[in-house]
Amino acid sequence: MPERYQWQSALATIGIEGRALAPQENAGAVLCERQVGTQLVIRGDASDAEFNAGVLELLGLKLPVTPKTAHRGATSALLWLGPDEWLAVMATEYGDKPEARFSESLGSVRHAVADVSHSRAVIGLEGARARDVLMKGTSVDLHPRQFGPDSCIQAHLGRCHMLLHQLDDGPAYDIYIHRSFAVYAWNWLSDAAREYGLSVRGSK
């Protein structure tokens, strides 16, 4: 893995900032690249009080234990991936080897932490027709009765894997895509959104 100062966005080649210079008025869907500082996969026993307390102290968030849910704070989020697995997303970078810092803080509590910050791009999708855009490429039931704010799920978008997290009732979504499929996913979303009016924002 390259050093952090060498990292480049998986979407760097498509000129998002240039596209954002001509926003479309009243667009039904808006795309942007989310800037995420650190992503860590954390594994542990959700019934272990020490593990829960350690994660709460580190991130200021309780572990989501209900399947397909997420907890969010001002600068961080915890997304449920499985009965003993979560994705911790932090807006700030924690320097080199953040997983070692977290493991040190958790001490002897049984756990595993892996830094996956460079493995995914995060695409933001929002707007009145954002749900319609996603429904073109996934079998997930996105009706508000089934999938609302702070719901998250691993599924497919077109021909690639995604981790989908709904942020609010807008609706607004964060879409986590493995970096090798990031350009494909961006182009797929752009094409799917075109009939509703598409606007691009700069990275945020």
For 33-81, the pLDDT digits (tens) are 998 888 999 999 999 999 999 899 888 899 999 999 999 998 889 999 9
d(CA 132, CA 74): 28
Does 7 reside within a domain?
no
Longest dimension (CA), the chain: 54
Report the candidate in 114, 106, 94, 116 with the shortest Cα–Cα distance to residue 39: 116
Could you tell me which residues come within 8 angstroms of residue 15 by beta carbon, excluding any fewer than 6 positions away?
A: none
Domain of 57, in residue numbers: 38-115
Same domain, yes or no: 135 and 151: yes
**CATH code for position 132:** 3.30.1360.120
Residue 135 near residue 144 (C-beta atoms within 8 A): no
Does 182 reside within a domain?
yes
Confidence of residue 102 (pLDDT cuts 50, 70, 90): confident
Confidence of residue 95 (pLDDT cuts 50, 70, 90): low
pLDDT for residue 196 is more than 80? yes
Residue 77, classified by CB atoms within 10 Å of its CB into exposed (0-12), middle (13-18) or buried (19+), is: buried
pLDDT for residue 142 is more than 80? yes
Residue 168 near residue 151 (C-beta atoms within 8 A): no
d(CA 34, CA 101): 24
Does 49 reside within a domain?
yes
The answer to pTM > 0.75 is: yes
Same domain, yes or no: 56 and 24: no
Does 48 reside within a domain?
yes
Residue 161 near residue 70 (C-beta atoms within 8 A): no
- 158-175, pLDDT tens digit by residue? 999 999 999 999 999 999
pLDDT for residue 21 is more than 80? no
Last residue of a domain, one of 115, 148, 165: 115
Same domain, yes or no: 187 and 124: yes
Does 9 reside within a domain?
no
- 180: which 2 tokens? 């090798």
Query: What distances in angstroms separate CA 69 from CA 4, 39, 58, 147, 166, one per listed residue?
Result: 30, 17, 20, 10, 9
Same domain, yes or no: 47 and 101: yes
| Residue 100 or residue 182, greater confidence | 182
